[in-house]
Structure 1
């Protein structure tokens, strides 16, 4: 199978181009193979670059290679672009890819505000959007689309995992430090709903710029609130900075707990267990879960400078693999709505997330995991970061189908209360 990797970040201008350079991984003629062009769109230079970035392109390429090894009769090209965490840039690049560059599907897209913008463009152009990096549950709620699959996690699952665990431990009063954009607002909203349902209270919240440079004023305000839990409704580099500042301010030594509502293994690796020990978090993937995740992660690390994959990068791999399976079944990638319908029809099964399904609203269902960061004395190596506290079944982690307000669902779903 032809598999060309077009490895290029954005051009220097405000509206990035998708592919300045090309590298041919397999120069054989495509012949009658089904042509497929994929775009991996993410943050390649900012606060989310370690979460997704170039690692997501590596993961996509691994999926194409594995599809080829499985005999998929496809000719696949991969483009890469940098959305700079700006909705207007992400939407413009997606539009350019679809209209000019022949891209059939966009993957990854961390930063919820960018994901929502790309979601709209994808629907307008009848292409495919498989999101693995953004958190907002609105992608399968009020802004759901027949052209979008939300693969890896969302703000409801994070609230049910980390928020639920903290309340169960007695953390019934909260103060939020919230990134001022769609993800921060969504995770605060969904975690607040859970806290209130379980009898707790939110004492206050403060919004921080995205990205933020100084968390001290916000954290001092959180300390002064007297809340038992300070919820960090941010991610990536912002979370790393906030946790470091909280350590400097001795937040936990003062009796308050710190809850990272979206934490990735790359964040903990950057912080080290010395700083992050005891932090409770929820993820859908960890490299050391089982033999299959370890095998994939070792292979990924060999290709990517020794780094283990994040959940977002794992989601790109699994999403691309399933997408290509659907394209092969249809013998075409051209009608995005048909491809997503086929993705929903086919059960999912991959080495990183196991067996699962994609619901009618586009929500990918799989287990989530509640982890605690190990103490330095417990860690046996650079990437030995978590111990597992609980496995949360997908049916419990994600919002029930009939509660999201997804407008593409039939009335029968609402009437029957299907999950």
Structure 2
């Protein structure tokens, strides 16, 4: 059953796991305030509501509950807020959490612009950030820090998986349509790099406002370019609107390929298999990978009424890994916990053999998938087939190309 919640920033409504928001007298001395305090900052009402949004808190709560609700006797407290995709709003929330609530860790962190503002504050305060929603690869490249970890995906991985495969199939001429903010810019740059490295050419590009409801003029420009492939360097509601507009104009029917760079299962349901069939894109996780992922996804659906997205799975995984690090070290000290997380491989419902690099990038396998036809799908959740598993070492930017100051290339 889906829980009803209020995410008003004025109140920063807190969901307290187990015994409520009260200090635990039995907590370990190594845990500050006798509590482990987590802030969940995400878009709760805008274009990223469905793929991440309120249900992301359910994933966090599942991880806490699976740890027994407390660690070393310290209760786990979760604060949540809607950042409205605004760096100013997000910064205000994180600053209050640090100054007034002594939050130990902030997770979610969806829009890249909000994330980059938030992680700067976390570094200044020596708190930890677990980035699950943001896609910009700059998060662990030029903007890396010893105070945050990037968990689910990034623009380097998403573009490398999809653009490389499509270009190598012989579709060489690309048109880039990108969201006009840091995430879209990063994805645009990464797609251009992959296309040109694989012998392709960028024949045109445009940037659209974020968020954007009317894609008519943008899709007409892309159609007129004569490009083999139109890359959608956006996400959430923007991608849905762009794909639906392309369908109205008969773009794919006329032979142009539509390449979504960041797509979620919720997006495909909104678009419908009839319009989305054959679309290839890269995913970090899919519920139907194995028995373990199917079982966890079914728990999530029973709780929320919806199948989890890859970010929901990442929120569960990163939160549990964080709490297990506190359990192992007996403290919530940021750098001690982060080092324990780095030293411990990730083997759970999200990743097998995953690990955290020195730049803060959590490295794991990725998957190139293709949307099934309506005839191939056996139920509303049977959306994709895996075309190729992309090994972890191939999926993410090699450290040899990193400009992160934490990386020792010697």
TM-score by length of 1: 0.92
Aligned to 1:308: 307
Deviation at 1:10, TM superposition (A): 2.5
User: Per-residue CA shift, 1:97-131, capped at 9, x if unaligned?
Assistant: 11111211011111111111111111011000001
Shift of 1:373: 0.3
Contact 2:19 2:75 in 1 (8 A): no
Give 1:6 shift. 12
Mapping of residues 344-363 of structure 1, within 5 Å? 344-363=342-361
1:151 to 2:151 alignment: yes
Written as runs of structure 1 = structure 2, the 5 A alignment for 1:235-274 is: 235-274=235-274
In 2, the alpha carbon distance for the partners of 1:30 and 1:109 equals 31
CA 341–160 in structure 1, closer or farther in 2 if over 3 Å, else same:
same
Where do 1:326-405 residues align within 5 Å? Answer: 326-333=325-332, 335-405=333-403
Which moved further from structure 2: 28-37 or 335-344?
A: 28-37
SS in 1 for 2:253: helix
Name the counterpart of 1:77.
Answer: 77
List aligned pairs for 1:190-339, cutoff 5 A. Answer: 190-305=190-305, 307-333=306-332, 335-339=333-337
**Stretches of structure 1 lacking an aligned partner (at least 5 in a row):** none
Q: Distance in 1 between matches of 2:402 and 2:349?
A: 29
Mapped partners of 2:296, 2:339: distance in 1: 28
Deviations 1:199-219 (A, max 9, x none): 111111111000001001001
Distance in structure 1 (CA, Å) of the matches to 2:167 and 2:280 = 12
Displacement of 1:54 after TM fit?
1.0
Aligned to 2:128: 128
Superposition RMSD in Å: 1.8
For residues 38 and 49 of structure 1, the distance between their equivalents in structure 2, rounded to whole angstroms, comes to 20
Deviation of 1:160 (Å) = 1.0
Structure-2 change in CA distance of 1:369 and 1:70 (3 Å): farther
Equivalent residue for 1:90?
Answer: 90
Alpha-carbon contact 2:27-2:72 (below 8 Å) kept: no
Q: CA deviation at 1:143?
A: 0.6
C-alpha separation in 2, matches of 1:235 and 1:22: 28
Residues 363 and 229 (structure 1 numbering): CA distance in 2 closer, same or farther, change over 3 Å?
A: same
Contact 1:212/1:238 (CA < 8 Å) preserved in 2?
Answer: yes
Note the C-alpha offset of 1:74: 3.9
- Alignment CA distance shift 1:31-1:223 (3 Å): same
Q: For the structure 1 residues 23 and 37, does the alpha-carbon distance in structure 2 shift closer, same or farther, using more than 3 Å as the test?
A: closer
| More deviation, 224-233/74-83 | 74-83
Residue among 12, 34, 39 paired with 1:18 = 12
1:31 equivalent to 2:26? Answer: yes
Count residues in correspondence: 401
Distance 1:357 1:6, change over 3 A: farther
Describe the SS at the equivalent of 1:149: strand
C-alpha distance in 1, partners of 2:250/2:342?
47
